[in-house]
Structure 1
């Protein structure tokens, strides 16, 4: 006989085992707080309650692998079988996760947004809806969902962290900073708010302040899931990289960014991105690509998210796994050709595919092809997902290709606005010096170099 109770946020639950409520709370609280304890819901997997089963399915989907739906589907079948006896809120949660498992992300996101309107304290649903919107580059959708929950869950710090990141991705930086600071006042250990504030400070060129802020809170990054802990350390490394503190970046790469969960998608792309940025900044990374390559080479072509595929491809190529990189590029092209245009086919075909060709060409040293293909993709790169800070990697690669191809005027037009926005960046100042020297403007080159002395 099902029993009625509530989760820790006051949302009604229908459970078969009273002990499952603690495991559901582990999922809900752990998910919105980016804590590893979210996986404890799997301990309740024998409870046929629809909410429990859908939470277990969602955990499998977060693996972001091609076989994740197959791993999640048995849980979804049990969830759907019992959904008629659950509450209307639980039925919508089950339907949203089922849509995700079936690959219908637009339907999943729409259901999460409806849930936010009707049950604004269902913050796990809000968070998952934001995840889907983020992966499609829909930052206004992320913000819309979080705003729907703002009044009903005003006392929950993690909701303000969700708001902060959504504001930031919409380029509304003052609102983002206010929301992040409010979240941190409510709870100092709010890693998603730390992450959002790091984005704001990086975007505004507050490099020294941003580094000092992360150093002041990184003692709280404990008990987190591997993505959150490695990604926040990745952000700290970005500040150091802009300040030319290369040995410290390498030390963070070795101790914090790479090695927590080497088989996990997000840990892999953090590592690929940071090594690539180091090399573009002129740093010798030694043999570090080899270990990433070994892990990427064991992947089957997943095609779960275009943003992931692009970095897998570049990582394989930079690690010297040319056969695997070429196979992934060809598989990606085949996937793009058969992708459903009504869902996300145009992104794979018109954005991801030319970007993949450009990244592969760059890794090969074919600068002209890299410029040509990346030039097509870059204006629409937001559609592949990822944050502004993450997608900046593709602009850095494009800029490098322009320079290597002798397109100095185009490079100057791309680089100088970045220098204006980041006056503390020693990395950008060095690059500008090279560009202006090549353009026969040594006095400008000297001026740029002296601005940071």
Structure 2
């Protein structure tokens, strides 16, 4: 499970068959059900874990309660409970894992400092893990997302030989190479590594998304679309629905920004998938990606989703706050060809973008859209400022190309 490798669910099923009262196995199985959006099964496994944990140790009971809170939609209780639990039992890696990553409790908390929080809690407990393959993987990725890509890459490369069959390490290294402006190195690494990785493993599609991203960065959208058709599209996808929706919608939007045509059938497939697995507003990271597909295909669906998000914001249930709604409205304006309005809506939200969670690589989608909107609306100066900020963080041939386009527009 910690290696994001295929077979964890079946392994927990075997453990439960051997010992039906093994509370932690039920809790972990519930987590896998949750990731696959098997809501009924997840809640049933969590309830069973609670039931059998009554006879377990206090440590196990707290472990189960934190996992159950995560599954039952109580992220604040799960987050605070995990922090307290780890102070006493820092080597409960599954509990620590709930806090980390682009889709973890910190990332989806709505906090602007979630990248720093992930790094801080890893550093707080580092002395308890030593040369642990899983911990080094996430310590490295946390450094990368907190702006220390060199340290992050070195740590992730240290973790790899300890367990090469580790999709999380491949993922973390891909992010480090992206942040260091080495897309071709990332493409070569992943293309080779994926040959040994089972397609059914839940990160496989997302790692293919990373390969497609490097193709776009290299100015080859046709290659990216080919990867999308073969490896990422939602039809028949075995991956967790949140991964599928976010990967498909974001890649199609990026392809559109790159000038790729003929995307309408793919957009219709994505909105149908979103309607199936995300029929109502709830998971805000899913909502902002659903909005991309709706903006491209179905304005009525977008208005309905925005109304639902506004209701959640009014009830205090939208973690990033109204800024997430603003991002959706900015993308709507862009899709409608109103680039002036897109610039006006998106510009003040750029500092708040981090609150939606995800990774730098995922969030750059909204920055890309703002830059292209600026260029199309004749605001070369604004585009140049954003590009300069990004180039300060990481080198990018694509951004350099946009900067060359922005400078004459700014001068005129």
TM-score by length of 2: 0.88
Pairwise CA distance, 1:386? 0.5
Contact 1:367 1:405 in 2 (8 A): yes
Report the equivalent of 2:164.
188
Q: Which residue of 2 aligns with 1:3?
A: none
| In structure 1, C-alpha distance between the alignment counterparts of 2:278 and 2:157, rounded to whole Å | 41
Q: Please identify runs of 4+ aligned residues in structure 1 that moved more than 4 A.
A: 42-46, 419-424
Q: Classify 1:55/1:428 alpha carbon distance in 2 versus 1 (closer, same or farther; 3 Å).
A: same
Partner residue in 2 for 1:392: 364
Q: Tell me the SS of whatever aligns to 1:32.
A: coil
Higher RCO (Cα < 8 Å, 6 or more apart): 2
Aligned residue number for residue 330 of structure 1: 307
CA deviations 1:344-390 (Å, max 9, x no partner) are x46233x2121122122222222233222222322111111110110
Question: Contact 2:200–2:238 at 8 Å: present in 1 too?
Answer: no
8 A contact 1:297–1:321 mirrored in 2: no
3-state SS, counterpart of residue 375 of structure 2? helix
**Do residues 371 (structure 1) and 343 (structure 2) align?**
yes
Contact 2:206/2:247, CA 8 A, preserved across alignment: yes
Provide the rounded CA distance (Å) in 2 between the counterparts of 1:315 and 1:71: 29
Measure the CA separation in 2 of the matches of 1:97 and 1:236. Answer: 33
Once the two structures are superposed, residues 300-321 of structure 1 have per-residue CA deviations (whole angstroms, 9 ceiling, x without a partner) of 4443332221011111221x12
Within 5 A, what are the aligned runs for 1:162-201?
A: 162-201=138-177
Q: 308, 325, 339: which is aligned to 2:286? A: 308
Change over 3 Å in CA distance of 1:437–1:141 after alignment to 2 = closer
Shift in Å at residue 196 of structure 1?
1.6
The answer for the alignment partner of 2:27 in structure 1 is: 54
Quote the Cα distance in structure 2 between the aligned partners of 1:428 and 1:356.
23
**Structure 1 SS opposite 2:128:** coil
* Alpha carbons 1:57, 1:73 under 8 Å: kept: yes
Which of residues 213, 216, 238 is equivalent to 2:213? 238
State the SS of the aligned residue for 1:133.
coil
Distance change >3 Å, CA 223–CA 434, structure 1 → 2: closer
Corresponding position of 1:296: 274
Find the counterpart in structure 1 of residue 295 from structure 2: 317
Measured after TM superposition, the shift of residue 266 of structure 1 is: 0.8
The verdict on how the C-alpha distance between 1:413 and 1:140 changes in structure 2, with shifts beyond 3 A counting, is closer
TM-score by length of 1: 0.81
The count of residues paired between Structure 1 and Structure 2 equals 400
Separation in 1 of the partners of 2:239 and 2:23?
32
Larger radius of gyration: 1
* Structure 1, unaligned runs of 5 or more: 1-30, 442-453
Alignment CA distance shift 1:79-1:377 (3 Å)? same
Matches of 2:309 and 2:36, distance apart in 1:
19
Alignment of 1:210-249 (within 5 A): 210-222=186-198, 225-226=201-202, 228-249=203-224
Q: Report the counterpart of residue 178 of structure 2 in structure 1.
A: 202
Residue in 2 that maps onto 1:432: 403
Q: RMSD in angstroms over aligned alpha carbons?
A: 2.5
Q: Which consecutive unaligned segments of at least 5 residues does structure 2 have? A: none
Paired residue for 2:261? 284
Contact 1:205–1:421 (8 Å) recurs in 2: no
User: Could you say which residue in structure 2 is the equivalent of 1:89?
Assistant: 59
